[in-house]
Amino acid sequence: CVLRYDHHCPFVKNCIGRRNYVFFCGFLAAVASLGMSVLIGIYVWYTGTSTGDGFRKAELILVNVLMVMLGVVTAALLLGVVVLGIFHTILVCLGRTTKEALTGRRPPPIVPGGGGARTLVGLAAPLARSGSSQD
């Protein structure tokens, strides 16, 4: 799927790996910023309309209930995004992928000149064509 596969993200509908991991982290930061903006906006609106400016009593109660419900859902989702961001920050510091952290397995280390597909030489060496003669 991708180089150094980390996980498949259902939110971006793509596999996350070496080349797009930084964009995934940017996506998490953007979603966290959006969640904080929504919560701050709800707080500012709530503190500004507590006197009932332009609202009847029944409308004010209904709008307050809707804002509290929106705030609770946003806070719960924001908590999940923040926890996911912390988890991925820890993984970056440890040099591991999500797949390695969840399965508990690590791929064998890359040993220069050690032969095989997991070595730097094995990854950089051209593949021999089948049926061609070697000089």
Q: Is 1 a catalytic residue?
A: no
- For the record, the structure tokens of 34 come out as 């959006």
Closest listed residue to residue 75, CA positions, set 110, 45, 37, 109:
37
Contact (Cβ atoms closer than 8 angstroms) between residue 48 and residue 64 = no
Q: Are the C-beta atoms of 25 and 6 separated by less than 8 Å? A: no
Alpha carbon distance 6, 101 (integer Å): 10
DSSP-derived secondary structure for 12-56: TTEEE-TTTHHHHHHHHHHHHHHHHHHHHHHHHHHHHSTT-TT--
Report the residue count for the chain. 135
Active-site residue list: 9
